[in-house]
Amino acid sequence: MTQTRNLLKNLPPPAPEEDFETLLQRQGVKLERIVSYGHTTPEAEWYDQEQDEWVMLLAGAARLLIDGEGETLLQPGDALLLPAHRRHRVTWTDPDRPTVWLALHLAGDETG
C-alpha cells in the first residue's frame, strides 16, 4: 500500500541533538530526514564520509563549510552533492525555526 507523508509536518521538538530519521534504506542507499534547531558541527570536527551524500534543504536555513571551498548559505530548495571524503561541517542552522534536511547517502560504485 502506498502512503503519503509530509516531511514538514509532525516535526520532533527541539532537543540537545539533531533528529535523524531513516526514511528508506536499501543496499548502498540510505535516505534520511534531519531536523536541526540551531545545531552545528562541533568546531574541531568535520564530516568525512565513506559515501557520497546529496542534501537538500526543505525548510529553515543553514550554512555549510566545505573544506577548500568556503561557506555556503542554504535556503529551502537548495541542494548539493558532497562527494565521498569531501570534508564538511555545519556552521549554523536557524535557531528560531526548524531546519529540515533531506539527505541521500550513496555507496561508492564498486563496478568501476
Domains defined for the chain, CATH in brackets: 19-106 (2.60.120.10)
CB contact at 8 A, 55 and 63: no
Which pLDDT does position 111 carry in this prediction? 42
11 close to 62: Cβ distance less than 8 angstroms: no
Q: What is the pLDDT of residues 23-67, one digit of tens each?
A: 999 999 999 999 999 999 999 899 999 999 999 999 999 999 999
Reported for 64-72, long-range contacts at CB under 8 A and 24+ positions apart, including other chains, are 64/88, 64/89, 64/90, 64/91, 65/89, 65/90, 65/91
Q: Is the pLDDT at 21 greater than 70, yes or no?
A: yes
> pLDDT band for position 109 (50/70/90)?
low
pLDDT at 61: 98
| pTM for this prediction | 0.90
